[in-house]
Amino acid sequence: MLEESHWGLMKGASSSLRAAFSHCVQQVRSYDYHHYLCLLELPANMRKAAFALRAFNVETARAMDVASDPKIGLMRLLWWQEAIDKIYANKLIEHPTAQALSSVISESKISKAWLKRVVDARINDANRDVIDLPESIEELEKYAEDTASTLLYMTLQAGGIKSTAVDHAASHVGKASGLLLLLKSLPYHASRNRHFSYIPAKLAAKHGLLVKEGGRSEIRLDSREGLCDAVFEMASVANAHLVKARELANSVPVEARKALLPAVPAQVLLDSLSKVQFDVFDSRLARGVLGRPPLWFQLKLKWYSWRGIY
């Protein structure tokens, strides 16, 4: 656990608020470790908000996964939708992540529309039947924009950073990160419901993965090579977003660049996928941090942070 003196977040805060932020840090560390390491590099004026926002993202991203019944997961997401309204109405909520979020919102004036956008995207995804495939990769890019990119917008807003260039860069970093994490999650979702619900229908058809049964389209893994080709194509779109984000680097204010460090784990995951020929079932992807030794990953992140690049 981080020492409070190390991250300097809780001076003068009540014990319940300190406990709420400690909960947020632990949630991010446990369930989003590569982003936890990114947040440690942030300046103090962004770090506190970033941990609350990332913990909120953990709560909403995992809602469907931890629920024994999809209806319970959806109810959890609807609870968060209502919780956001209550937070902005200054109503107390007995939930540590919500308490931390409320504190951050009162200090940083985080946009309510952005928080709502994240939850709405999760709800729309939860309402989608597992055999209802997204039609195109643009649908998945929109989902990544509404979740991963929006988290970056809110982190930058908390740091008081206003820049068109940084917003454009954050959009590209978020889309790359979101797409790559969807790819990494394919085996998990396939093991839960035996469906590859995050491969677009157009891409699946192109690579011979789409089978029509009873008027519905379904992805079949008759060809591991076809799946690898589809993953490669999606990863190439993510790579293009990373390239665009880095092309904007000289226009991004120096104080904003650490907020874009999630580009580093996105690149690491992209490189790890490349090493296994884009086979998402290769066990090497599950090792360490995104397929790389933890110490190597931490040193790489520190190097990028120290150089002020992403």
Across the range 74-103, mean pLDDT stands at 96
CA distance 33 to 158: 21
For residue 8, the 8-state DSSP code is T
pLDDT range class, residue 2, cuts 50, 70, 90? very low
DSSP string, 159-192: TT---HHHHHHHHHHHHHHHHHHHHHTHHHHHHH
Torsion over CA: 310, 146, 28, 99 (sign): positive
Q: Is 224 helix (H, G, I), strand (E, B) or coil?
A: helix
What is the residue extent of each domain of the chain?
1-126, 128-309
**pLDDT (tens digit, 9 = 90+) per residue, 198-226?**
999 999 999 999 887 777 777 877 778 99
Higher-confidence residue: 154 or 6?
154
Q: DSSP per residue over 20-88, as a string?
A: HHHHHHHHHHHH-HHHHHHHHTS-HHHHHHHHHHHHHHHHHHHHHHH-SSHHHHHHHHHHHHHHHHHHH
For 212, which DSSP code?
E
Comparing 67-71, 99-103, 235-239, which segment has the lowest mean pLDDT? 67-71
pLDDT reading at 194 higher than 80: no
Gyration radius of the chain over CA positions: 19
Asked: is 128-309 a CATH 1.10.600.10 domain? The reply is yes
* Confidence check: pLDDT of 280 > 60: yes
The pTM for the full model equals 0.93
pLDDT tens readout for residues 147-181: 999 999 999 999 999 999 999 999 999 999 999 99
Structure confidence at residue 70 (pLDDT): 85
Span 237-246, pLDDT tens digits: 999 999 999 9
Residue 109's pLDDT is what?
87
CA dist 276 → 14, 17, 35, 284 (Å): 49, 44, 23, 8
Whole-number pLDDT of residue 69: 86
User: Residue 93 is encoded by which pair of tokens?
Assistant: 């909520």
As a whole number of angstroms, the distance between CA 145 and CA 170 comes to 9
Q: Which residues contact 128 (CB under 8 A, 6 or more apart)?
A: 197
The predicted pLDDT at position 6 comes to 43
Picking from 37-51, 66-80, 205-219, which range would have the lowest pLDDT averaged per residue?
205-219
Please give the pLDDT value at position 12: 53
Q: How far apart are CA 201 and CA 184, in angstroms?
A: 18
The average confidence (pLDDT) of the chain is: 92
Q: Which residue has the tokens 């120290």?
A: 306
CA distance 294 to 36: 13
